[in-house]
Amino acid sequence: MNLTPEESRSQSLTLGTAAALMIILGYPGELILDEDKLGTRWLYWIAAMIPFVYIVYALLVGLSSATESEQDPAVRNLIKFAQKATVVSWCTYPVVYVFPMLGISGGNVVVLIQLGYSCSDIISKCGVGLLIYSITMAKSAAIRAGNEETPLYGTKGN
């Protein structure tokens, strides 16, 4: 994305902090499986959803101008797809989190949670990782071909 180093650092820090906060707020609820205490689990889920919604908003709306500033339409479309794929893959986590609150209990809920998070991890880390790799390769090819400004080295032809 065409962000200045300062913007990139700021976004990384802000989104990284929000992601850490989301995990910190949600993790204690993960430990609650007792049916009598699922109300408390809901509270942790709600608390974790606040930074989650912020991250989703930042990916889809907050970074839209940086995405649109990408000169190469193919790279821009890959970035948009990666943003949407990240959001879709991340939405699987809060769904898995509520399995115990849906009446699933005992060993079944533990197995479903582990399977759900494993699938979520494969999609969000491997799938989105491959999309990021594709973006990097497409952007590198565009820069080599001289079709793109290179923020580190100036403009086309440098």
Domain of residue 75 covers 5-144
The pLDDT tens digits of the residues spanning 45-54 come to 999 999 999 9
Q: Is residue 155 one of the residues assigned to a domain?
A: no
Q: Is residue 30 one of the residues assigned to a domain?
A: yes
Q: Is residue 92 one of the residues assigned to a domain?
A: yes
pLDDT score of 139: 85
Count of domains for the chain: 1
> In tens digits, what is the pLDDT along the chain, a chain of 158 residues?
667 888 889 989 999 999 999 999 999 999 998 889 999 999 999 999 999 999 999 888 888 888 888 888 888 888 888 888 888 888 889 999 999 999 898 889 999 999 999 998 898 889 889 998 998 898 888 888 876 555 543 444 43
Task: Say which CATH number the domain at 73 has.
Answer: 1.20.1070.10
pLDDT score of 98: 93
Q: Is residue 124 one of the residues assigned to a domain?
A: yes
pLDDT score of 147: 63
- Which pair of structure tokens corresponds to residue 11? 């976004």
Q: Is residue 31 one of the residues assigned to a domain?
A: yes
Give 133-141 contacts, CB < 8 A, sequence gap 24+.
134/78, 135/75, 135/78, 135/79, 135/82, 138/72, 138/74, 138/75, 138/78, 139/72, 139/75
